[in-house]
Structure 1
Amino acid sequence: MVGLQPSGSSTRLAAQVGAQHLGGVIYLGGWSGGTASMARTSARLQAAAHGSLLVAADQEGGEVQQLRGPGFDRMPSARTQATLGTTAEQAAVRTWSRQLARAGVTINLAPVADTVPTSLGEANQPIGRYHRDFAPGSPSTNARYVAAFVRGSVAGGVMPTLKHFPGLGRVTGNTDVTTTGTTDSTTRAGDPYLAPFEAGIAAGAPVVMVSSARYPRIDPANQAMFSRAVVTGLLRGDLGFRGVVITDDVGAARAVAAVPVGQRATRFIAAGGDIVLTADAGQASTMLGAIAAKRAQSRSFAAQVDAAAARVMDLKAHAGLVRCG
């Protein structure tokens, strides 16, 4: 999955989608043209993929709403959404999701399932600073609203994504812009802060995004997205998740800058992941080449690639993007 900015060329990216058989595009950078304009862009991209493309957006609300303009409601922050009550929240998300669907968006990279401790608050740069969590210090409240968001999104015809597993609430640094303060030394298997992720999975979330922070009590050697202990052990094993696992951005994010571009893809797949998301579409060729090369060298990695592809195809079939038979 590669990024498209408002300043970019959807025609050029559509040609890349067709040539490289890319699986998805995410709208980044803040679009203001409204649903009709986005629908035309989505249709152009879908045509290049014969209608099988995952078209994504970050549409959480508040500071994080990438698509705006006529046809899109202004979504309040998660903190404000949590004052609605879960029934009203589910109904509101259904409405917002129908707006995304009219714009040709098939997958929303929301809701945030992270819990920020009250002792940290806005010192938590990725989540707390922007009020992206539903309820500071309360994983149980977050769990209820995450589940409501998931149900509303599904009812509105858009696939939701839980993020950022296993949680960015206890770090101070934003992995997009720094490597400092991006280690969570508290979160562990069985942690109560995992409850919102468990609730979202139980509510039917088909996709989980894994963070690029470090969690030494789970895996002292690897960042979460490159950790088999996190992706395969904790998420797929302990939490029983059977859906698609996607990276947080591995294109522009500072947290992965020291990792060679090709390895950002191969290490994630080796950990048990499925969709590699890069904001930089120019990296796709390097990543695809690295995947193909390692696949040719390793039977076990080839099996992981095939399993990832099967999960993504199942997701697309469920969304009506591909048909079997």
Structure 2
Amino acid sequence: MRVAAVALAAVALAGCTSTKTGTGTESPQAPSSTRPTSTSVRPPSSTPATTTPATSSSASRTSPPLLPPAERIFSAMTLRQRVGQLLMVDCPTSGPTGATQQAITQYHVGSVILDGTSYAGSNEIAAVARQVQGLAPKGVPLLVSTDQEGGIVQRLQGPGFTRIPAATEQGTVAPSTLRRRTQDWAAELRRAGVTVDLAPVLDVVPAGFGANPPVGDLQREYGNTPAAVTSHGVAVVRGLAAAGVAATVKHFPGLGRVRGNTDVSGGVTDTVTTSGDAFLQPFRAAIDAGVPFVMMSTADYSHLDPGVPAAFSYRIVTGLLRSQLGFGGVVISDDIGNAAQVANYSPGERAVRFVAAGGDVVLTVVAGQAQEMTAALVNRARSDPAFRRLVNASALRVLRAKQALGLLH
């Protein structure tokens, strides 16, 4: 769970026709099936449409079908560029550091998280967003995200940003009211250049549970029952989508029944959650509502995959989230750059383990780790065809999310 760390239900805008040309030497390979995790992509044809008047021999000739922008851009990308789409790195709300700039321009990183609370207001954040977008390759903008939950977890404040109440207070109003308010809050984000909100929190902290450092102690829960969290969490997902901001539900499969915060403590373990647990209902409902992003917890879950952080668990990411709950969108990690829970793994191993488990976007609040993480992912993809297929599927999934947000023009 990132304290310091958005659904857009398939909002694809028409008229996107841009392409991106790869500059490396790797031969592009598209995913090999039509399933969400491995989608067949055909490279664009260079044959021009015929202008010959139709005759008996040419009447059946037609122009080759145009690929959607995501597929077209993906087909032109090198392996390194595809791997870059699998990373989200830190960008301070005050502006990109040298490490952030290098991650984008040299390692092709495709997403950033605006981190650190800013009181400068919307105009300043919009300027920062424009600055980082100016570093991205033409035609392939970044996903710009932040934590805008409410309460003490509201990274963007000041003029142009409404002060959002904590989730515990949001949970006291009718879901329809919360949806309308969220749409207004999300419109502020979109005007400032933010396209992904790393919210809402769908973890359920039972009444009387006691200390719960990552969620309950910080008033990040909408209620104390799966029903309450479901109704209000889905309202937030829909409100964000209505304003053109992608929601990220978190922290799957839940941090509401743990005693430690994975950001600052190791060995955090959930000893109760099962694959049929009622506390998974908020995530199931959000998936049914079309949420585009799900964030993985890094806690261990003794009844699901003992001793393996959820973000690194094939059983949890692919088995439970994708197969059992049917999620076909983008799976993003909680921070694995600076979290104590995963400190025993090298940065490169963290990235490889997450993607191998079925994840798509590696989130690190240490932008300087981009070099090691991308190198590890590229090397594994070059040596392991099955892993390369996972990389291809994830890169395409991220590009489709960008297309749905209207970013690919």
TM-score of the two chains, using structure 1 as the length reference: 0.96
Aligned-partner residue type, residue 234 of structure 1:
L
SS at match of 2:261: coil
The aligned residue for residue 170 of structure 2 is: 81
**1:47 Cα deviation (Å)?**
1.6
CA-atom RMSD in angstroms:
1.3
Map Cα deviations across residues 195-223 of structure 1 (whole Å, 9 max, x no partner). 11011112221000000000121111411
The aligned residue for residue 278 of structure 1 is: 364
Q: Distance in 1 between matches of 2:364 and 2:289?
A: 28
Map Cα deviations across residues 156-182 of structure 1 (whole Å, 9 max, x no partner). 1110000000000010100000014x1
Indicate whether 1:150 and 2:242 are aligned.
no
Out of 377, 383, 386, the position equivalent to 1:291 is 377
Change (3 A) 1:155 1:6: closer
The aligned residue for residue 329 of structure 2 is: 243
**1:255 Cα deviation (Å)?**
0.5
**1:83 Cα deviation (Å)?**
1.2
Map Cα deviations across residues 5-49 of structure 1 (whole Å, 9 max, x no partner). 246645763353122211111011111111111111101111211
Out of 70, 81, 93, the position equivalent to 2:159 is 70
The aligned residue for residue 190 of structure 2 is: 101
Instruction: Show the 5 A alignment for 1:1-325.
Output: 1-6=88-93, 9=96, 13-49=100-136, 50=138, 52-121=141-210, 123-136=211-224, 138-180=225-267, 182-323=268-409
Q: Distance in 2 between matches of 1:71 and 1:286?
A: 38
8 Å CA contact 2:99, 2:367 repeated in 1: no
Q: Count residues with an aligned counterpart.
A: 320
Q: Distance in 2 between matches of 1:164 and 1:12?
A: 27
Kindly name which structure, 1 or 2, has the bigger radius of gyration based on alpha carbons.
Answer: 2
Runs of 4+ in 1 over 4 A off after TM superposition: none
Change (3 A) 1:220 1:320: same
8 Å CA contact 2:103, 2:368 repeated in 1: no
8 Å CA contact 1:10, 1:41 repeated in 2: no
Q: Distance in 2 between matches of 1:112 and 1:6?
A: 22
Map Cα deviations across residues 228-287 of structure 1 (whole Å, 9 max, x no partner). 000000000110001000000011111011111101100000000000000000001000
8 Å CA contact 1:135, 1:141 repeated in 2: yes
SS at match of 1:249: coil
Aligned-partner residue type, residue 159 of structure 1:
A
Larger deviation: 162-171 or 3-12? 3-12
Q: Distance in 2 between matches of 1:290 and 1:16?
A: 15
Larger deviation: 45-54 or 207-216? 45-54
Q: Distance in 2 between matches of 1:313 and 1:164?
A: 23
Q: Distance in 2 between matches of 1:201 and 1:25?
A: 24
Q: Distance in 2 between matches of 1:92 and 1:167?
A: 25
Aligned-partner residue type, residue 198 of structure 1:
R
* Highest RCO, 1 vs 2 (Cα 8 Å, sep ≥ 6): 2
Identity among equivalent pairs (%):
46
Aligned-partner residue type, residue 78 of structure 1:
A
Q: Distance in 2 between matches of 1:313 and 1:227?
A: 24
Q: Which runs of 5+ in 1 are unaligned?
A: none
- Write 1 or 2 for the structure with the bigger share of helix: 1
TM-score of the two chains, using structure 2 as the length reference: 0.76
Q: Which runs of 5+ in 2 are unaligned?
A: 1-87
Larger deviation: 224-233 or 49-58? 49-58
Q: Distance in 1 between matches of 2:308 and 2:99?
A: 36
